[in-house]
Structure 1
Amino acid sequence: MRGSLSLMCNWAKIGLLLLMVSISGCNTLKKVGDDELLLTKNTIYVDDEKVTDGEIKGLIDQKPNSSVLGYPLRLNLYNMAKENPDSSFQDWLHRKQKREKRLNNLLSKKQVSRLQESFIVKGASEFLERVGEPPVVIDTALTNKSLNRMEAYYNSKGYFNNTGDYEIVESKRKKRAKVEYNITLNKPYIIDTVQKNITSPELDSIYDVASKRSFVKKGEQFDLQNFTLERERLTTLFRNSGVYNFQESSINYDILRDTTRLADDQLMEVQLNVKKFRSATDSTDTNSTYRVARHKQVNIYADYDINGDTDSLKTLEYDNFIIHYANKLRYSPKALADAIFFEKDSVYRDLDRIRTYRQITNLNTFKYPNIEFIPDSTQTKLTTNVYLAAKKKFSLNMNFDVTHSNIQQVGTAFSTSVITRNVFGGAETLNVSARGSIGLLSDASLSNETFTSELGGDVNITFPRIWLPFSTEKIIPYYMLPQSRLLAGTNFQKNIGLDKQSLNSILSYNWTPSDRLKNNFELLNVEFVRNVNPDNFYNVYRNTFSNLDDIADQFQDDPAYADYFKNVDDSTDPLRLDIPEGANNFVRDILNDSIQVSTEEFDEVNSIEERRRRLTENNLIFASNFTHTKNSKSDINDNDFYQYRIKVESAGGMLSLIANAVPYNKNDNGQLLVFGVPFSQYVKSELDYIRHWDIGGSQVLAFRSFFGMAVPYGNSNSIPFVRSYFAGGSNDNRAWNAYELGPGKTDNINDFNEANLKLAFNLEYRFPIAGDVKGALFADAGNIWNVFDNENNPDAIFSGFSSLADLGLGTGLGLRYDFTYFVFRVDVGFKTYNPAKVGSDRWFNGYNLGNAVFNIGINYPF
């Protein structure tokens, strides 16, 4: 009875919600006046052709109410807010004050209830008004303003004689209308000649050399944007050609044509004017001619104190720089000189100033620098001063987190790091970090212990240059912000899985050719992974053990194998293989034909044993890799950009090359051993491409594609688990949990499914809902396969284009909340096409909330 009542209550709540939505949907015009029209659509026609350009449509000042999949959610939320919610409260309060003496200032329960109700109504109304959106009613003043904007826009494109009007078209539906804008362009104006009037002879010479790159050219249609680009180009050109104080405001243009006079030729003359310098601090200096300046002297103040006396500093001359310091110079003169791109007697370039700022900031040793240019009386010689104020030599960071996972009921994690700057005097940065965690196991069968623990640490030192025995400055100059990183770390993991211990060491180089390009080259990436508790394999990989135990059930009553089993407190299966001895002995007897099973069962046991050996063996990875990344995003608000990442990795090749010179030991499988461990040998490549399209109205269409393949060879017949691929999870195919999808058309055969080939494609439509709340619709396709390794299951192997039928497809929706600094998101994914099913069952099987996968993540998945 209680369950039925609860179910009825739930259905009542759902029905009430649907009713509220229906009422609000029917009440769209609730706050639209009788003499007002709700704006439903804007349409622009230019010379009778409909315009779809987002830039032009953005000129319209008044736009229809926003919608979510065609539904005006925010408008209806606004309409649900009670008008003047304070009125009932104020009326009650007024009556209460009149009766205050008679009631002896005591409130009855009914009055208290009314007071609480008033506050609730008021708060709900304020919330709905805040997240809602008032109805957009047509305002002819704003319509005229929009029309004027469009006329001005086409004026800027050379259509000086364009004309425009608009029409309000009422809908057949009540109190609704759309606005149609009509623009007639007429003939555009064309640039006939470009003249120049440059007051500085030196600037005139510089202009002539680069005049062919001008954005304002004879024979082209007038476009104000080209004039803006040309002003920016000339400003950059002059500042990078020695004119350190050039001002963009010195550039203007004269149009030598009466644009109001109609003529068939529509030609105009343009004159470029570059005026003299105007001092911002000296109003009497109005006639200074721009001059090309050179660096007469470059001073570096290595211990600058804004309140200190620079006259008492010591000086040191190094490579045409004069270094000023107090007491003892704490920095290598070369490190300081490499960070400054000004050269004595060279022509001033604004590019050198920008690069100097970037490089000094990149050193992470000094605060943001101050650069000063002091000209002489001729304005042709500069005394350049670079003031450097040091950051604190040491800094300490500490973090503490509470965690939860499918392995831990609850856990705590901490980390701390100490940063030491200018370790060897060359602006090097040393980072020593330690981390640890402890947690309560969620499943006692995973270990004999109750708690998990992990402890690790890293020593990371960064050099602001390429650390090699030969110079790389000609290939990778200092303006590319070169860095070398040497890292050594270790990690000890206890009572989780196989109790792994790892040691890793990395020697890498990275440089940034431009703001959009990044390169990273790991010359050495050495990782040693040791499984301390391999006997725990069948406790961790429960699906694998279950498959093995099912095969063993037919032998559990045989006295010859009684030692292989143990009693368990489970009425459905009282006898199970003992872990690890019983399971290992059972597998051994099958593989050496001591126990006879069917061919299918033999193959499955053989596959289980290969997987066990692979996942419990120790790994030595001796790799090198190169990663190239490009990102066209201009700033944080740019929603129309692309990004790609290319990575190539090779492991074991160097160790294999020296096999003839070094007498390696071998194991029973003929693999070469280093420190008693077979080293991994493979080649790996990845391509990751992301594209975002801004489709207007804060809506974005985002796409990602990924291809990755790792091929073992030589000393390996499979890829190490830590270098393999998996599918599923909050940043991949969100209709499957991590490690659940694949390989190929196999159906979740292992607890952690992985392979060495991966394809992934993601498409997501992102849209605003209300305020900082965003929504998304997505489709994720992808899978993993085995290729060129020792996998024998044909369902898991990529065999050509026909295997693309194994791509799993997940669709779903998500909610995001934008906290400005990060985005919190919740996604729900549904298995739309499941390659593990057969025939028509592959499509929409289990497409419901009961089989949905919920994902929680921070920031967007791509």
Structure 2
Amino acid sequence: MKQLLAKISLILLTLSLFVSCNAVKRVEPDEALLTENSIFLNGEEIQENRIYNQLYQEPNSRFLGVPLQLNFYNLARPNIDSILSEKLLQNDRKREKLEAVLSRKQLDKYINSRVEFNQWIKRTGEAPVIVNEEDARKSVNRLQSWYWNNGWFNVETDYSIIPSEKKEKRAKVEYYVNTHKAYKVDSIKTDIDSPVLDSIYESHRAESEIKTNQQYRTLDFNAERDRLTQLFRNNGVYNFEQEYLNFDADTINTNHKVNTTIIINNRQVTNGDSTYRVPFKIYEISKVNVFTDYTYANRNEPVTDSAQVGNFTIYSFGDLEYKPEAITDAVFIRPGRTYSDLARTRTYSRLNSMRVFKYPNIQYNPDPADSTNTALIANIFLTPQQKYSLGFDFDISQSNIQKFGIGFGGSLLIRNIFGGAENLEIAGRGSIGSSTDAAASRDEDRFFDISEIGADVNLIFPRIFFPFETEEFIPGYMSPFTTLSLGLSTQNNIGLDKQNLSSTLNYKWNPSRKVSNRLDLINLQYVRNLNTNNYFNVYRNSYSELNDIVQSPNVVTDPSFLNTSGQLTIPTGAENFIEAVNNNENTTSGLTENQRQNVINIRERKRRLTENNLIFASNFTYLWNTKENLYDEEFSRLRFKIETAGNILSAASSLAGADKNENGNYEIMGVAFSQYVKPEIDYIKHWDLGHDNIFALRAFGGIAIPYGNANSIPFTRSFFAGGPNDNRAWQAYDLGPGGSGGRSEFNEANMKLAFNFEYRYNLFGALNSAFFVDVGNIWNVLDIVEDEASTFTSISDLDEIAIGSGFGLRYDFSFFVLRFDIGFKTYNPALPAGDRWFQNYNFNHAVYNVGINYPF
């Protein structure tokens, strides 16, 4: 290991020495490469990124101190056209040789390819940043502006270009900022001409973004301008615009205080050649007209159908295909209410979320019947999307249980199926694959020995579908939806073969832009295992462990359990041996206590993984996400979910006086239903460090506690560790539980802790890289598992938290990111206590992960 690190260090050192000599290769003799920016605030050097971001020039990016992108750019030839012309076209001898092999057209293509490749090197690399006096002066002005906008009105700035004394054609720039005393906001007065605006302002004065005795910030004044504009327009002032609002900040002889006056003039009106001002008024919506099937083609056609709902009028150019209430429930511009920008925004959002119409067009016109000129008619033009939509998908995959897989599927979306803007989605999916050698396939002569087929049906209502009214606590502007789902699937694979039936009734609503909620009132899942006799063909580690016990010198067992090679037969011999040990039968003897406990553990795991599952659960998920768009690199995301299962079935069974099985559990149709509570929390935070540098972390904690009718958690509700989106130094299902060392093929448990840290940075162009540290593990707790190495019994078991570290490359294709990560086992809790750190920390024992998009 030490030799490997020494070799890597030597290579990097040699590389840095080699490439550093070429950094100024494309820098002219009278120019200087910018090597460093320094900012001195009141004589002290500072390192704040937000201040350095004000500078117009920054040095070329570096990786481990080496300007890789600059050196890559330097590989390009500056005058490639003239060089190729001189070498190939103007040189008769070379041209004749090439034309003897290539046609003139081929020669032109060859030259163009050389030119394009040279241009690609330039685009991918980074041109040298040359110190520029003009840019330095602009940077000084920007620094001065930044400090002025943050309250230092007497700020002084300057700069100095300092050539390098050790290396030629290099220089650094130092910027000097002297702030002097900052100004604070003192008094806030108003000069508002319109009584209506003055009344609204006074009612909301306490919400002002400008606070007295705080340092002046231009951003606070901009925020106050935005707040007041929204405030007025959301309170009926339809024609208010930002340009009517101004601030007068008096700083003359005020002892570094800012006396502010908010000035709002009356509205300017032009009538013919004359211009005059009139007070602002509050507008009210008198009518709302909705056109449900408007298109540009029928804009001049007569309306043929209509409906009246209160003061709403619903129009159609053909037969009205929508229940009027389904439309009016999605419109928050209501007759009789004052005009509001917020109502219009909520209407846009709700109509879009229904997926029935294209982006709506909302227009306001003065009501000609109103003599006060304060009434508006709202016209909403809706263009329906196609009633039927088809979708198809196809993918090729590879995983740790299949070496090759093909997936395919199709979907049909039927919009407005019952006339109330309901959507029906019908989807089918299927896949075939070839298994790995992890288990013996029953069809060894078939290449495709894995298959799955399934179908899902979703019926989506744009409302809360519930016996009583929910508008009071889940109003329509929260975009509520109810979804009824039914899913069926069957698997035919190298494993146990499964049939899966699932059904859900869930509600979704968004209280705000950042918050979304989901309640699965009913989440039903039935899993039936069809081929339990194949268990020991799949879980070969368990089978090998049993054979090791059987073949121990001290163990004597029934010869009928064994084949001619002395190994347990599958499934009869293995199962009979397990039951003989469990029941202390005289056919088997000589086991040590550890061997006997291992057999009992294998028996319990087999029972859990082969039993049929009936899960009747409810869960609630709260999601808080500050990410504003796809390109937002600094955000927080918190997800909390709690699920309970089996309580209703347990209560019903108890009240009905149902009988219990031999294990003391109630059964429904011959299946002991699961009962548990499962809370989990997931937090993600990204920091944008500037210059395409991101630091990201994730923290996850979850526990599933069985009780009542169950003493374990179904496999589908358990936790696992490892894989490309978890601890990348272990493959999926390989890590844990605890310090057991991942003895099974699919290791799972009912408690999990995970922490991930990742520093992401740009190498060049669309190629990015990252260093990461992944921490976590899974354990069994408060369930039937008794294996000490797998269970969490006290805080001291936290020393079994595994640590993986590594690095990766990511290529950004704009619409998705292709990710390649290499993880090394840094701290392996499966090893003896003194040998857990940096054992097998090398490429031979590394785990290589390929994924799509970022892990978190």
Distance in 1 between residues matched to 2:237 and 2:424, nearest whole Å: 40
2:812 corresponds to: 818
1:530 equivalenced with 2:528 (yes/no): yes
Report % sequence identity: 42
2:4 corresponds to: none
1:90 equivalenced with 2:81 (yes/no): no
Distance in 1 between residues matched to 2:641 and 2:280, nearest whole Å: 49
Partner of residue 360 from structure 1, selected from 351, 362, 365: 351
Distance in 2 between residues matched to 1:612 and 1:603, nearest whole Å: 14
2:563 corresponds to: 566
Partner of residue 468 from structure 1, selected from 466, 469, 494: 466
| Post-superposition CA distance 1:168-203 (Å, at most 9, x none) | 334443133322211112233444443433332211
Distance in 1 between residues matched to 2:663 and 2:41, nearest whole Å: 76
Deviation (angstroms), 1:327: 4.3
Conservation of the 8 A alpha-carbon contact between 1:247 and 1:277: no
Conservation of the 8 A alpha-carbon contact between 1:42 and 1:178: yes
Distance in 1 between residues matched to 2:11 and 2:112, nearest whole Å: 23
How do residues 459-498 of structure 1 correspond to structure 2 at under 5 angstroms?
A: 459-498=457-496
Conservation of the 8 A alpha-carbon contact between 2:558 and 2:588: no
| Post-superposition CA distance 1:598-647 (Å, at most 9, x none) | 22111111111111111000000010111101011233332222111111
| Post-superposition CA distance 1:475-531 (Å, at most 9, x none) | 100011111111011110012310010101101111100010011111111100000
Partner of residue 688 from structure 2, selected from 691, 694, 705: 694
RMSD, matched Cα: 2.9
1:173 equivalenced with 2:170 (yes/no): no
Distance in 1 between residues matched to 2:677 and 2:118, nearest whole Å: 62
Deviation (angstroms), 1:709: 0.2
| Post-superposition CA distance 1:369-416 (Å, at most 9, x none) | 111111246441001111111111111111122233333333322111
2:74 corresponds to: 79
Conservation of the 8 A alpha-carbon contact between 2:185 and 2:258: yes
Distance in 1 between residues matched to 2:569 and 2:196, nearest whole Å: 90
| Post-superposition CA distance 1:416-439 (Å, at most 9, x none) | 111111111111111011111122
Deviation (angstroms), 1:288: 4.9
1:550 corresponds to: 548
Q: Which runs of 5+ in 2 are unaligned?
A: 1-6
Conservation of the 8 A alpha-carbon contact between 1:664 and 1:674: no
Q: 1:310 to 1:338 in 2, by over 3 A?
A: farther
Higher mean Cα deviation, 193-202 or 523-532? 193-202
Q: Which runs of 5+ in 1 are unaligned?
A: 1-11, 568-573
Partner of residue 568 from structure 2, selected from 563, 568, 577: 577
Residue type of the partner of 2:68? L
Deviation (angstroms), 1:157: 2.4
Q: 1:267 to 1:737 in 2, by over 3 A?
A: closer
Q: 1:92 to 1:796 in 2, by over 3 A?
A: same
Q: 1:99 to 1:590 in 2, by over 3 A?
A: closer
Q: 1:380 to 1:471 in 2, by over 3 A?
A: same
Deviation (angstroms), 1:289: 3.8
Give the alignment's TM-score, normalised by structure 1: 0.92
Conservation of the 8 A alpha-carbon contact between 2:269 and 2:277: no
1:754 corresponds to: 748
Residue type of the partner of 1:729? G
SS of the aligned residue for 2:804 comes to strand
Q: 1:14 to 1:269 in 2, by over 3 A?
A: closer
1:303 corresponds to: 293
How do residues 661-700 of structure 1 correspond to structure 2 at under 5 angstroms?
A: 661-700=655-694
Higher mean Cα deviation, 610-619 or 443-452? 443-452
Conservation of the 8 A alpha-carbon contact between 1:88 and 1:118: no
Residue type of the partner of 1:243? V
| Post-superposition CA distance 1:431-483 (Å, at most 9, x none) | 01111112233337132363221110011111111111100100100011111
Deviation (angstroms), 1:78: 1.7
Deviation (angstroms), 1:286: 6.0
How do residues 353-392 of structure 1 correspond to structure 2 at under 5 angstroms?
A: 353-376=344-367, 378-392=372-386
Residue type of the partner of 2:493? N
| Post-superposition CA distance 1:712-759 (Å, at most 9, x none) | 111111100000001000000000000111111111211111100000
| Post-superposition CA distance 1:777-804 (Å, at most 9, x none) | 0000000001001111111111121011
2:23 corresponds to: 28
Residue type of the partner of 1:135? P
1:842 equivalenced with 2:836 (yes/no): yes
1:506 corresponds to: 504
Conservation of the 8 A alpha-carbon contact between 1:419 and 1:431: yes
1:321 corresponds to: 312
Residue type of the partner of 1:494? N
Distance in 1 between residues matched to 2:320 and 2:395, nearest whole Å: 42
How do residues 789-800 of structure 1 correspond to structure 2 at under 5 angstroms?
A: 789-800=783-794
Number of equivalences: 838
SS of the aligned residue for 1:334 comes to helix
Distance in 1 between residues matched to 2:428 and 2:650, nearest whole Å: 35
Conservation of the 8 A alpha-carbon contact between 1:44 and 1:180: yes
Conservation of the 8 A alpha-carbon contact between 1:467 and 1:484: yes
1:128 corresponds to: 121
1:66 equivalenced with 2:64 (yes/no): no
| Post-superposition CA distance 1:189-226 (Å, at most 9, x none) | 44444343333221122122222322335544432212
Partner of residue 641 from structure 1, selected from 613, 616, 635: 635
Deviation (angstroms), 1:138: 1.6
1:346 corresponds to: 337
Conservation of the 8 A alpha-carbon contact between 1:89 and 1:115: no
| Post-superposition CA distance 1:320-341 (Å, at most 9, x none) | 2111124432111211111011
Residue type of the partner of 1:152? S
Higher mean Cα deviation, 119-128 or 405-414? 119-128
1:161 corresponds to: 154
| Post-superposition CA distance 1:352-374 (Å, at most 9, x none) | 11111111111111111111111
2:138 corresponds to: 145
Distance in 1 between residues matched to 2:98 and 2:632, nearest whole Å: 60
Conservation of the 8 A alpha-carbon contact between 1:82 and 1:121: no
Distance in 1 between residues matched to 2:462 and 2:485, nearest whole Å: 15
Distance in 2 between residues matched to 1:172 and 1:318, nearest whole Å: 83
Residue type of the partner of 1:306? Y
| Post-superposition CA distance 1:538-575 (Å, at most 9, x none) | 011111111112122248998x84443335xxxxxx54
Partner of residue 51 from structure 1, selected from 46, 49, 60: 46
| Post-superposition CA distance 1:98-142 (Å, at most 9, x none) | 897xx6995269999999997776555433322111222221211
2:580 corresponds to: 589
How do residues 622-633 of structure 1 correspond to structure 2 at under 5 angstroms?
A: 622-633=616-627
Conservation of the 8 A alpha-carbon contact between 1:556 and 1:562: no
Deviation (angstroms), 1:683: 0.6
Distance in 1 between residues matched to 2:560 and 2:36, nearest whole Å: 79
Partner of residue 758 from structure 2, selected from 764, 768, 776: 764
Q: 1:283 to 1:381 in 2, by over 3 A?
A: farther
Distance in 2 between residues matched to 1:154 and 1:264, nearest whole Å: 19
Q: 1:554 to 1:163 in 2, by over 3 A?
A: closer
Q: 1:110 to 1:458 in 2, by over 3 A?
A: closer
Deviation (angstroms), 1:164: 1.3
Distance in 1 between residues matched to 2:616 and 2:98, nearest whole Å: 83
Q: 1:248 to 1:533 in 2, by over 3 A?
A: same
Q: 1:320 to 1:79 in 2, by over 3 A?
A: same
Distance in 2 between residues matched to 1:578 and 1:737, nearest whole Å: 30
Conservation of the 8 A alpha-carbon contact between 1:665 and 1:674: no
1:4 corresponds to: none
